[in-house]
A and B are shown apart, each in its own frame.
Chain A
Amino acid sequence: DAKTTQPTSMDCAEGRAANLPCNHSTISGNEYVYWYRQIHSQGPQYIIHGLKNNETNEMASLIITEDRKSSTLILPHATLRDTAVYYCIVRRTGANSKLTFGKGITLSVRP
């Protein structure tokens, strides 16, 4: 599976949009981009995934560049409860394909 690169940390003000970047320049055509988050001491939580089209759900939006070498997770109105470590993961489908977690990006939402 392709490797991802994320900044170590970032912060944003409560109520503002949080834009979390991710680089995956070696992504293959059959690999999806997944985002998970982990709030302190809890299990990781699935947020969203996409292949090449932009995706939106009740939690966030995922913007994937046309060349698929990078993506951005957007939390449209960040709250204090969004403070967490966010993981960008590239994964192909298939029975033996697993999620491989990196160190993620720590998002701190300030009041």
Chain B
Amino acid sequence: NAGVTQTPKFRVLKTGQSMTLLCAQDMNHEYMYWYRQDPGMGLRLIHYSVGEGTTAKGEVPDGYNVSRLKKQNFLLGLESAAPSQTSVYFCASSYGGINGYTFGSGTRLTVV
């Protein structure tokens, strides 16, 4: 039982490049989330999904796109990376309701 798996774990991008971060969960969770964490800022919600085929904006969605084509996967895309997107990205999933979230181990992204 792997839980929530994020790939890649580390990545360095040049400004203007694009990339996709993959989040996969094997718990049959309905809900999935993408957060970013910056020093001194805490975790901030980027986008989330309440089920396969659905996505919604969170607190800081600008510069990111997401897709949830399969229930177990939630993809976060950066179309044109900027240095301000240097951060640690965490994916989470949940059954919904009052259940807690299960987080992945994070992706450390540096944009130079």
Contact = CB atoms under 8 A, between A and B. Distances in A.
Interface of A: 32, 34, 36, 41-46, 49, 87, 93, 95-96, 98-104
> Per DSSP, are chain A's interface residues mostly helix, strand or loop, or mixed?
loop
A82 to B, nearest CB: 18
B103 A43 contact: yes
Interface of B: 4, 33, 35, 40, 42-45, 48, 50, 56, 58-59, 88, 90, 92, 96-98, 100-106
Contacts of A96: 50, 56
B96 to A, nearest CB: 7
B43 A101 contact: yes
Contacts of B4: 43
B4 to A, nearest CB: 8
